[in-house]
Structure 1
Amino acid sequence: MKKALVTGCAGFIGSHLTQRLLNDGVTVIGIDGFIDNYDVAAKLRNLAEIGKHPAFTFHSTTLQTGRWDIWLENVDVVFHLAALPGVRNSWGKSFADYVSHNILATQELLEACLQRPKPPVIVVSSSSSVYGTMQGTVTNENAPLRPVSPYGVTKEAMEQICSVYVKAYGLPVTMLRYFTVYGPRQRPDMAFHRFFRQMMKGEEVIVYGDGQQSRDFTYVTDAVEANLLAAQHAVPGDIFNVGGEREIKLIDVLSIMGTLMNLTPRITYQNGPAGDSLRTCADIQFAQQRLGYKPKVALEEGLRHQLAEIRSQSKG
Structure 2
Amino acid sequence: MIVVTGALGFIGSCLIRKLNDENFNAIVAVDDFSKTEKLKNLEGKNLKEKVERTHFFEWLADNQKEVEFIFHLGARTDTTEFDVNIFNELNLEYSKKVWQACIEYSIPLVYASSAATYGLGEIGYDDDETKIKHLKPLNPYGQSKQDFDLWALAQAQKPFFWAGLKFFNVYGPNEYHKGRMASVIFHAFKQIQDTGTVTLFRSHNPDYIDGQQKRDFIYVKDVTEVCLFLMKHRKNSGIYNLGTGKARTFLDLAKNTFKSMGKEPQIKFIDTPADIRDKYQYFTEANMRKLKSIGYLKPFTTLEEGIKDYVQNYLMQDYKHF
Counterpart CA distance in 2 for 1:293 and 1:306 is: 23
CA contact (8 A) 1:204 1:265 kept: yes
Counterpart CA distance in 1 for 2:257 and 2:297 is: 27
Change (3 A) 1:236 1:245: closer
Are 1:254 and 2:254 counterparts? yes
CA contact (8 A) 1:33 1:61 kept: yes
Cα deviation digits, residues 140-184 of structure 1 (max 9, x gap): 21244221111110001111222233x334553211111111111
Counterpart CA distance in 2 for 1:216 and 1:17 is: 20
Q: What is the TM-score normalised by the length of structure 1?
A: 0.85
Identity within the alignment, %? 24
Query: What's the counterpart of residue 13 of structure 2?
Result: 15
Report the more deviating stretch, 280-289 or 61-70: 61-70
Q: Alignment partner for residue 50 of structure 2, among 42, 58, 82?
A: 58
CA contact (8 A) 2:30 2:56 kept: no
Counterpart CA distance in 1 for 2:190 and 2:149 is: 34
Query: What's the counterpart of residue 48 of structure 1?
Result: 43
Shift in Å, 1:47: 0.7
Alignment of 1:162-311 (within 5 A): 162-165=152-155, 167-169=156-158, 171-186=160-175, 187-189=178-180, 190=182, 191-202=184-195, 204-210=197-203, 211-235=211-235, 237-244=237-244, 246-261=246-261, 262-272=263-273, 273=276, 274-308=278-312, 309-311=314-316
Q: Alignment partner for residue 317 of structure 2, among 295, 312, 315?
A: 312
1:267 match: secondary structure: strand
Counterpart CA distance in 1 for 2:157 and 2:213 is: 40
Query: What's the counterpart of residue 126 of structure 2?
Result: 140
1:218 match: secondary structure: strand
Shift in Å, 1:74: 1.3
Q: What is the TM-score normalised by the length of structure 2?
A: 0.84
Change (3 A) 1:293 1:148: farther
Change (3 A) 1:293 1:162: farther
Are 1:31 and 2:30 counterparts? yes
Unaligned 5+ segments in structure 1 are none
Are 1:128 and 2:115 counterparts? yes
Question: 1:313 is aligned with what amino acid?
Answer: D
Change (3 A) 1:154 1:201: same
Question: 1:90 is aligned with what amino acid?
Answer: E
Are 1:110 and 2:99 counterparts? yes
CA contact (8 A) 2:236 2:294 kept: no
Unaligned 5+ segments in structure 2 are 204-210
CA contact (8 A) 1:127 1:177 kept: yes
CA contact (8 A) 1:174 1:235 kept: no
2:195 match: secondary structure: coil
Query: What's the counterpart of residue 95 of structure 1?
Result: 84
Change (3 A) 1:64 1:151: farther
CA RMSD of aligned residues (A): 2.5
Counterpart CA distance in 1 for 2:15 and 2:174 is: 12
2:185 match: secondary structure: helix
- Structure 1 residue ranges, 4+ long, deviating more than 6 angstroms after superposition: none
CA contact (8 A) 2:70 2:107 kept: yes
Counterpart CA distance in 2 for 1:276 and 1:35 is: 33
Counterpart CA distance in 1 for 2:194 and 2:266 is: 11
1:111 match: secondary structure: helix
Are 1:81 and 2:73 counterparts? yes
Question: 1:216 is aligned with what amino acid?
Answer: D
Counterpart CA distance in 2 for 1:174 and 1:159 is: 10
Report the more deviating stretch, 59-68 or 205-214: 59-68
Counterpart CA distance in 1 for 2:197 and 2:214 is: 21
Question: 2:303 is aligned with what amino acid?
Answer: L
Counterpart CA distance in 1 for 2:216 and 2:63 is: 35
Counterpart CA distance in 2 for 1:111 and 1:69 is: 12
